[in-house]
Amino acid sequence: MKIGVIGAGKVGSTLAHLCTAAGDDVAIANSRSPETLRDLELQLGHHAHAVTAEEAARYGDVVIVAVPFGHYQELPADALAGRTVIDATNYDPERDGHDEELERGDVTSSELMQRHLAGAHVVKAFNAMRWDHLRDYGRSAGAYFRYGIPVAGDDPAAKWRVLDLVEQIGFEPVDAGSLAEGGRKYQPGTEAYAEDLGADVLRARIGIEGT
């Protein structure tokens, strides 16, 4: 699979490492320039290369967005049209500034990203586990215990791609539903956020027992 990563901080670089280790080809970008990512490019190996954000957007069948949420309107909407976009961000009003719609609970942050990326298919994932636990807690398929990663999205095909990617990098995917409903269940402040839950416990915690 070809994967673009926009955001080369702890979450973005960790996911890039996990994807290249699984055999995926990765194009990774930050807010500065590809030249500032040469050391990371070397660490990731021959399956990865550093590019601009627009190039990462056009490169990936799946594009992971791991930037501060407050910068989501800077994402290249035209380049991301038709792509599966994984929203790995979280709204932090102290960092991102206050958003009235989010403060009132009218929408989720992923719905706002989907509104900006009208031609893309946004899926919420990889935002509810600490970056170092993403790095260290993956387990092979068939392991006795695996941590769950919740996934929410409105497009079934896009969600399926992300569920498959979660499985590929060593976690058990848990379908949390739509962006509007599921995305609320594991954002900051919820009982599923940053709790490192097994898949069965995670399903129960977000109210989808028996699925």
What is the pLDDT at residue 143?
74
Structural domain boundaries, residue 130: 2-205
- What pLDDT score does 140 carry? 78
| Mean pLDDT per 10-residue interval, the chain, length 211 residues | 97 98 96 95 96 96 97 97 98 96 95 98 98 94 87 98 96 96 94 95 84 44
SS3 of residue 34 by DSSP: helix
Give the CA distances from residue 50 to residues 1, 45, 59, 68, 121, in Å, rounded to whole numbers and listed in that order: 17, 11, 11, 19, 24
HSE toward the beta carbon, residue 178, CA cutoff 13 A: 6
- Looking at this protein, which amino acid is placed at residue 149? I
Q: Are 158 and 84 in contact, with CB atoms under 8 Å apart?
A: yes
Q: What is the pLDDT of residue 209?
A: 61
Q: How many other CB atoms are found less than 10 A from the CB of residue 27? A: 24
The answer to whether residue 103 is domain-embedded is yes
Please answer whether residues 6 and 57 qualify as being in contact, where contact means their C-beta atoms are separated by less than 8 angstroms. yes
**Considering its fold, how many domains does the chain have in total?**
1
Note the pTM of the prediction, 2 decimals.
0.96
Quote the strand ranges of 53-207, DSSP E: 62-65, 84-87, 121-124, 148-153, 172-177
pLDDT, residue 144, reads 81
Q: Is residue 125 part of a domain?
A: yes
Give percent of the chain above pLDDT 70: 99
In a domain, 132, yes or no: yes
**CATH number of domain containing 176:** 3.40.50.720
Residue 211, in any domain of the structure: no
Q: Is residue 81 part of a domain?
A: yes
Q: CA end-to-end span of the chain, whole Å? A: 28
Indicate whether 96 belongs to any domain: yes
The pLDDT, as a whole number, for residue 211 is 44
Alpha carbon distance 12, 118 (integer Å): 23
